[in-house]
Amino acid sequence: MLARRAAREIALILFSQLDDDVKKYATTDFDKIIVNSVRTLTNNAYEELKLQSTAVVDMIQYIDEYEANHPTNLARPIESNDIPVPIPLTSDMTGRLTAIADVCEKAFSALEIAEMTALEENSETKKYIRRITKAYVDKKDIIDETIKRLAVGWDFSRLVKTDKDILRIAITELLFVKEPPVKVIIDEAVELAKRYSTEDSASFINAVFSNNVRTCTLRPNV
């Protein structure tokens, strides 16, 4: 499960680097793009960690200054050590800490994915990325037409690129890989949207699949 989840994340970054003419890519090209995708994932994790580490330092400084300037400590003798005081804006602190925790979780996940993918040439992660990519390249027209049919009321050309690629990965799995259960594929697509796309993307992805699962139109004859 974890290997395939990692494969989907890297495939999403890989898809973002492809031109519309996917037929022009050779297997060696995809291997290079996989390496670049892993580097992109780890670099983003590094940058987010660096940003949030600065936020941690700012929080420590804020708390130290708040404590030192609190009336309780200002009333104490100058040579006395400050004593802990209550912080009233707990919601602000909670929000900052939650953001840091989220970034740390993403960073750990990115590094774990990078290790699984980069260290083993024949890892399950790499094999699944290649499998998704090959199926997409071979069946791109069918996959894109399926998205157009499922996304009722949406102009395919105006879809957010990341959303389009998430749908492409999921449709590729649903139609041509066919191993994971439908629910798993849809849930993973929604999670990718939450992590990598816009605020409304997860709801959009979920709605596209939910409507078609209910009407049994998810898997056409291909």
What tens-digit pLDDT sequence spans the chain (222 residues)?
577 888 898 889 888 888 777 766 656 676 777 777 777 777 777 777 777 777 777 777 777 787 788 888 778 887 777 777 766 655 666 777 777 777 777 776 766 666 655 546 667 888 898 899 999 989 999 999 999 989 988 999 999 999 999 999 999 999 999 888 888 999 999 999 998 999 999 999 999 988 666 544 555 544
Is residue 219 assigned to a domain?
no
Is residue 220 assigned to a domain?
no
What is residue 197's DSSP assignment? S
Is residue 222 assigned to a domain?
no
Question: What CATH number has the domain bearing residue 28?
Answer: 1.10.940.10
Is residue 51 assigned to a domain?
yes
What amino acid is encoded at 165 in this protein?
Answer: D
Is residue 221 assigned to a domain?
no
Rounded to two decimals, what is the model's pTM? Answer: 0.67
Residue 72 structural domain: 2-214
Q: Are 144 and 156 in contact (CB under 8 A)?
A: yes
CA pair distance 56, 54, nearest whole angstrom: 5
Q: What angle do CA 175, 17, 209 make, to 5 degrees?
A: 30
The string of DSSP codes covering 128-189 is: HHHHHHHHHHHHHHHHHHHHHHHSTT--GGGS-HHHHHHHHHHHHIIIII--S-HHHHHHHH
Question: What is the pLDDT, as a whole number, of residue 74?
Answer: 79
Question: What is the pLDDT, as a whole number, of residue 190?
Answer: 96
Is residue 111 assigned to a domain?
yes
Residue 69's Cα: distance from chain center in Å? Answer: 41
Q: Per the structure block, which two tokens stand in for 79?
A: 């040579």
Q: What is the count of structural domains for the chain?
A: 1
**Which residue's entry shows tokens 């990325």?**
129
CA pair distance 76, 203, nearest whole angstrom: 54
CA pair distance 163, 201, nearest whole angstrom: 7
Question: What is the pLDDT, as a whole number, of residue 221?
Answer: 47
